[in-house]
Amino acid sequence: AQKITQTQPGMFVQEKEAVTLDCTYDTSDPSYGLFWYKQPSSGEMIFLIYQGSYDQQNATEGRYSLNFQKARKSANLVISASQLGDSAMYFCAMREEDRDDKIIFGKGTRLHILP
Amino acid sequence: ETGVTQTPRHLVMGMTNKKSLKCEQHLGHNAMYWYKQSAKKPLELMFVYNFKEQTENNSVPSRFSPECPNSSHLFLHLHTLQPEDSALYLCASSQEGLAVAYEQYFGPGTRLTVT
């Protein structure tokens, strides 16, 4: 079974609109961390935001926020006021405490921002 | 140099060649990783080194041989590769400890083409 599921292979969004990228995860470990990475066409993976399983509040970093719904095992990334430079692949990832040397990545969502 | 660097950025090699990929991290981290990213596939973890000791070998064929001489440098030695080994090879590092909050920092990757 997949540990990280990203159901949107591709998305097209108008510039300046908000966009939500979906991510669901599967774990029985009570302690885990969730990450989002951005991969532009240059190839480098850029860390965006982190959410811990025990964090009470949703994580925010500038225009990025993580909509964490623990009971639903959902960790959607919300990008507000999208920009052309946001066009990239976005990966959701998870690290479980009992496997803390391994981050598991989803298949990614390709986001296209339209001018 | 800052962050995680990888050389070369692009490599074309024949199936009988021997080459090496190099990764260097300037972040003082104690863990380093090799990932393979093929088209339309999730990131595949290949090797993990923690304090220079290999802690993970994710069923990688022996034609890929990692080397970690110290906690700042990581190599991937390649020999007698197959065309299906063509991919983007990403190196990452992180500070491993007792928490799940440590994100991985990635290098720009080496785009490998096997002819």
- B88: pLDDT strictly greater than 60: yes
Per-residue pLDDT band for B113 (boundaries 50, 70, 90) equals: very high
- Cα–Cα separations (whole angstroms), residue B87 to A62, B37, B112: 33, 6, 5
- Please tell me the predicted confidence (pLDDT) of residue B1: 58
In chain A, residues with a C-beta closer than 8 Å to the C-beta of B49 are none
Low-confidence ranges of chain A (pLDDT < 70): 1, 100-101
- Please tell me the predicted confidence (pLDDT) of residue A102: 77
- CB pair distance less than 8 Å for B108 and A101: no
In whole angstroms, what is the distance from residue B111 CA to residue B37 CA?
Answer: 9
Burial class (CB in 10 A: 0-12, 13-18, 19+), A7: exposed
- Please tell me the predicted confidence (pLDDT) of residue B100: 62
- Please tell me the predicted confidence (pLDDT) of residue B41: 76
- Residue B100: which of A45, A95, A106 has the nearest Cβ? A95
Q: Is B33 within 8 Å of B93 (Cβ atoms)?
A: yes
- CB pair distance less than 8 Å for B43 and A43: no
In whole angstroms, what is the distance from residue A9 CA to residue A107 CA?
Answer: 8
Average pLDDT over residues B16-32: 93
Average pLDDT over residues B39-68: 84
In chain A, residues with a C-beta closer than 8 Å to the C-beta of B107 are 44
Q: Which of residues 34-93 of B touch A (CB under 8 A)?
A: 41-43, 45, 48, 50, 55-56, 88, 90, 92
- B99: pLDDT strictly greater than 80: no
In whole angstroms, what is the distance from residue A16 CA to residue A108 CA?
Answer: 22
- Residue A100: which of B45, B92, B100 has the nearest Cβ? B100
- CB pair distance less than 8 Å for A52 and B48: no
Q: What percent of chain A has pLDDT over 70?
A: 97
